[in-house]
């Protein structure tokens, strides 16, 4: 798990602007969803191209958050990334960022039924949880997924983001959610990146300009009924 403390100067700037350190001081569980982003074998373990082994360390916190969210009456949404063949044309700029071999490995490893596509086995998925498949880094960008329908059907206006990688799919999803008027929070010890520096940079920027950042313990404490 990444060591992380929000820089004091960032907290001071947030307080100066908002009058408080956290915009998410409380939750209405019935309107809140925990999003677990891309905690698939492809992103969790070697030898996959996208492996971020640090993500294995946040699994217990993600499971704790999911259990707390269900107990409070909120929603849990498991998001999986799919690499459709059509993206070779519709997202050709992403293809340019891989070698020819890398493109094929990424596509093959993130197909339905492939081990790489499946959720990490230690995650505690439960009946009643929602499942969403996305096709871009952000679950909310146009054409990526049906997540807005899923959240709208459940009356959700607040989302709590966990998963991998902090600075890629988690941050992209969280930023776009805020732009679509969801109250958004990223969990510092519920997300993981390739390095401590990337993790810290993503969380710091998100906290300053887009939404809240809290720890697992802080979120769980605020989910409990008053």
* Residue 107, pLDDT score: 79
- Mean pLDDT estimate for the chain: 93
Assigned domain for 18 exists: no
* Residue 82, pLDDT score: 93
Question: pLDDT tens digits for 173-213?
Answer: 999 999 999 999 999 999 999 999 999 999 999 999 999 99
Of the residues 169, 170, 176, 191, only one is catalytic, namely 169
Assigned domain for 4 exists: no
> How crowded is residue 208: how many other Cβ atoms within 10 Å of its Cβ?
17
CA distance 165 to 167: 6
CA distance 7 to 92: 38
Of the residues 24, 52, 134, 189, only one is catalytic, namely 134
CA distance 174 to 186: 7
Assigned domain for 7 exists: no
Q: What is the pTM of this model?
A: 0.93
162: left (phi over 0), alpha (psi -120 to 50) or beta: beta
Is 38 catalytic? The answer is yes
For residue 41, the enclosing domain spans 29-223
Assigned domain for 191 exists: yes
Give the CATH number for residue 110. Answer: 3.40.50.850
Asked whether residue 87 carries a pLDDT value surpassing 60, the answer given is no
């Amino acid at each position: 798990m990444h060591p992380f403390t929000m820089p004091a100067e960032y907290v001071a700037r947030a307080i100066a602007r908002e009058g408080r350190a956290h915009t998410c001081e409380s939750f209405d569980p019935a309107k809140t969803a925990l999003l677990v982003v891309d905690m698939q074998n492809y992103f969790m373990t070697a030898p996959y191209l996208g492996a971020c082994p640090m993500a294995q360390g946040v699994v217990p916190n993600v499971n704790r958050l999911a259990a707390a969210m269900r107990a409070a009456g909120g929603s849990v949404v498991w998001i999986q990334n799919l690499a459709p063949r059509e993206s070779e044309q519709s997202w050709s700029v992403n293809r340019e960022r891989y070698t020819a071999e890398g493109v094929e490995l990424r596509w093959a490893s993130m197909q339905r039924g492939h081990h790489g596509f499946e959720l990490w086995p230690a995650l505690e998925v439960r009946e009643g949880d929602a499942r969403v498949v996305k096709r871009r880094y952000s679950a909310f960008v146009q054409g990526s997924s049906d997540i807005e329908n899923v959240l709208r059907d459940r009356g959700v206006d607040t989302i709590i983001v966990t998963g991998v990688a902090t600075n890629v799919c988690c941050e992209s999803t969280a930023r776009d959610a805020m732009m679509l008027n969801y109250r958004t929070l990223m969990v510092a010890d519920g997300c993981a990146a390739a390095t401590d520096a990337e993790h810290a940079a993503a969380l710091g920027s998100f906290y300053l300009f887009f939404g809240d950042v809290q720890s697992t313990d802080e979120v769980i404490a605020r989910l409990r009924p008053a």
